[in-house]
Amino acid sequence: MSRNEELAARFEEFAALLEAKDIEYKPRSYRRAAENLRSHPEPIENLASEGIEAVTEIEGIGDAIAAKILEYVETGAIDELSELRAELPVEMAALTSVEGVGPKTVGTLYRELGVEDLDDLEAAAESGAIRDLSGFGEKTEENIAAGIDFARSAQDRTPLGEIRPLGEDLLEYLDGLEEIGRRELAGSVRRWRPTIGDLDVLCASDDPGPVLDAFREWDRADTVIEAGEAKASVRTNGTRIDLRVVSPAEFGAALQYFTGSRDHNVALRNRAIARDLKINEYGVFDVGDVADPDSGQRVGERVAGETDASVYEAVDLPPIPPELREDRSEIAAAAAGELPNLLVEDDVRGDLHTHSDWSDGSNTIAEMVGAAEAFGHEYVCLTDHASGPGVPGGSGLSDGELRDQSEAIDAARKEASGIEVLHGVEANIDSEGGLSVGEDVLEALDLVIASPHSGLDGDGTDRLCEAIAHPAVGIVGHPTGRQLGRRSGLDLDIEAVAEAAAEHDTALEVNANPRRLDLRGGAVKAAIETGATIAIDTDAHRPANYELLRYGVHTARRGWAEPENVLNARSCEDLVTFLEG
């Protein structure tokens, strides 16, 4: 972790602990400082060496917080944080990963019941002690009990959004070594799975020693788990990273093998066997004349292995994009010449789901519009929350405020010359499928996104179909409401939902926020096959969030999406036609 990130994590913990003690306002400023530190491009230790004034130049960092930054850079600890931790010795991150448990709840549960970790929480829920606390109840206790298992099972997988940047940092670091040739992220990260068990990295080199030494000395590696002659594993922030060094001639075979998935590899191997070939992590070998093909790893004549594509070519297939390698009939499609013409990041022309400080976003409308233009979008739609249950911090807009917002959007539109600006809203879908916004307001907007924010358990098919059929609704946002590691979201009969969506010209969202990735790849594939259109949105709450688009694009690719399936790969004109239809 960089120092900026270390400090950000500590300030977030600070904020949570203060909140648990029911202290007001302060937590907010620590969270803001954490956010700004995270996005600050320069290493904080550089500013710290210039003194406190240089540190307070960063937005949102005043004297008090700057002093703590200096203290941390100098001593590696923050006294006040250590004191807070001693006062409230709880496993904050684990406890707050349970849905419905925030820092305030953690504070109450610690003070009243001595709950320090997930085991304590489980015991408290099972004994019925939680329901008797004021402000809690039987339902809350049940929800907490139900959330614990989910939080536990999610703990050993990490969101892609955390691991992908870590892997990219590692590649950049390794690129500094002269012993390194080709290198690539492999495993589930290369397939863009939403959550990652461990990170697999491959390098081609004839001289593994210095590469592995450098890997073990990488400053983001916390501990070395294993170190061999061609492979080493480290742990960083709880995640395991496996680095393998292979010879350049075998790099492609190794990359193909370690990209997986396991099921995809099994299917590919079977296709090879039918051709008297043997595929393994060392290459593709012609074993037609070999008496015992299993007698060694490199038996027979090598016919491929230098590149990933050569492995597929050896079994008469075009290269199969990693996102498709999940054994969902991709080998049959490749053999028939029917692989999809997959969407690429550049195909996306605008973002249709964004928030400003009119609701819970951090920036003004003008700032969000300017940033969308700088990102390269042709159009952007502002979709602040309408008020409703589950809307973050009660930040939603009333009908009157939505009407007033039209004028602010008009003003931003006049300022912005290089980008089309649309005015939308994100309305909450209630338990019956209704929306909490007046019909006249919905009618007047360019786009209505209807999203579920509460009541996110059980089956949501009817509820979503009801919202889809509403004539003003253009997109269903994060359709299941899942949050990785927190809650699994609504169960959907995706074919039924997609059928309704196709019938009513309502698009289904792939929310690109790495905590959501909702719809997921498998659901996208089913939705597209049923004839539905999808929209890929970042749900940006600040300018930096536009960069999250790639997670949505690759999730859509996991669902075999082509540009024509994607609403915001269309021109603004065609988009408006779809929304009016």
Binding Zn ion (rule: CB under 5 A), the pick from 539, 557, 560, 568 is: 539
- Does 250 contact ligand DGT by CB under 6 A? no
d(CA 461, CA 64): 50
Q: Which stretch binds Zn ion (CB under 5 A): 65-73, 139-147, 418-426, 456-464?
A: 418-426
Q: What are phi and psi of 372, to 5 degrees?
A: -65, -40
Pair 427, 435: CB distance under 8 Å: yes
Pair 363, 542: CB distance under 8 Å: yes
- Does 252 contact ligand DGT by CB under 6 A? no
> Looking up tokens 């338990």, which residue turns up?
431
Closest to 463 in 3D by CA, of 476, 474, 446, 447: 476
261 binding partner (options ligand DGT, Ca ion, Zn ion, none; Cβ < 5 to 8 Å by kind): ligand DGT
Nearer to ligand DGT, 38 or 269 (CB): 269
- Does 198 contact ligand DGT by CB under 6 A? yes
Binding ligand DGT (rule: CB under 6 A), the pick from 97, 108, 188, 356 is: 188
d(CA 257, CA 506): 40
Which residues, in sequence order, are CB contacts of 272 under 8 Å at separation 6+? 278, 279, 284, 314, 315
Nearer to Zn ion, 308 or 539 (CB): 539
For residue 266, CA distances in Å to 190, 273, 300, 521 come to 18, 11, 20, 21
Which tokens go with 49?
């060496």
Nearer to Zn ion, 35 or 539 (CB): 539
Give 510's strand partners: 536
String of contacts with ligand DGT for each residue 90-129, x by CB under 6 A: ----------------------------------------
- Does 139 contact ligand DGT by CB under 6 A? no
Binding ligand DGT (rule: CB under 6 A), the pick from 99, 179, 200, 308 is: 200
- Does 351 contact Zn ion by CB under 5 A? no
Classified as helix, coil or strand, 518 is strand
| DSSP character string of 348-406 | --EEEEE--TTTT-SS-HHHHHHHHHHHT-SEEEEEEEBS-TT-GGG-PBPHHHHHHHH
- Does 280 contact ligand DGT by CB under 6 A? no
- Does 153 contact ligand DGT by CB under 6 A? no
Footprint on this chain of Ca ion (rule: CB under 5 A): 187-188, 198, 200, 242
* Subset of residues 4 to 23 that bind ligand DGT, contact rule: CB under 6 A: none
CB of 481 to Zn ion, least distance (A): 11
28 binding partner (options ligand DGT, Ca ion, Zn ion, none; Cβ < 5 to 8 Å by kind): none
Binding ligand DGT (rule: CB under 6 A), the pick from 147, 159, 208, 260 is: 260
- Does 265 contact ligand DGT by CB under 6 A? yes
- Does 384 contact ligand DGT by CB under 6 A? no
d(CA 3, CA 237): 13
- Does 420 contact Zn ion by CB under 5 A? no
539 binding partner (options Ca ion, Zn ion, ligand DGT, none; Cβ < 5 to 8 Å by kind): Zn ion
d(CA 106, CA 112): 10
Pair 277, 312: CB distance under 8 Å: no
Which tokens go with 438?
């007046």
265 binding partner (options Zn ion, ligand DGT, Ca ion, none; Cβ < 5 to 8 Å by kind): ligand DGT
Q: In 193-282, which ranges are E strands?
A: 195-196, 199-204, 223-227, 231-236, 239-246, 277-280
Please report the sign of the dihedral spanned by the C-alpha atoms of residue 233, residue 237, residue 238, residue 239: negative
d(CA 448, CA 475): 7
Q: Which stretch binds Zn ion (CB under 5 A): 86-94, 294-302, 424-432, 522-530?
A: 424-432
CB of 353 to Zn ion, least distance (A): 6
Classified as helix, coil or strand, 300 is coil
Q: Which stretch binds Zn ion (CB under 5 A): 115-123, 145-153, 284-292, 535-543?
A: 535-543
* Residue of this chain nearest to ligand DGT (CB atom): 260
CB of 322 to Ca ion, least distance (A): 13
d(CA 519, CA 326): 17
262 binding partner (options Zn ion, Ca ion, ligand DGT, none; Cβ < 5 to 8 Å by kind): ligand DGT
Nearer to Ca ion, 200 or 384 (CB): 200
Q: Which stretch binds Zn ion (CB under 5 A): 3-11, 225-233, 311-319, 532-540?
A: 532-540
d(CA 255, CA 282): 10
Binding ligand DGT (rule: CB under 6 A), the pick from 95, 196, 342, 445 is: 196
Q: Which residues bind ligand DGT (CB under 6 A)?
A: 187-188, 193, 196-198, 200, 257-258, 260-262, 265-266
Q: Which residues bind Zn ion (CB under 5 A)?
A: 426, 539
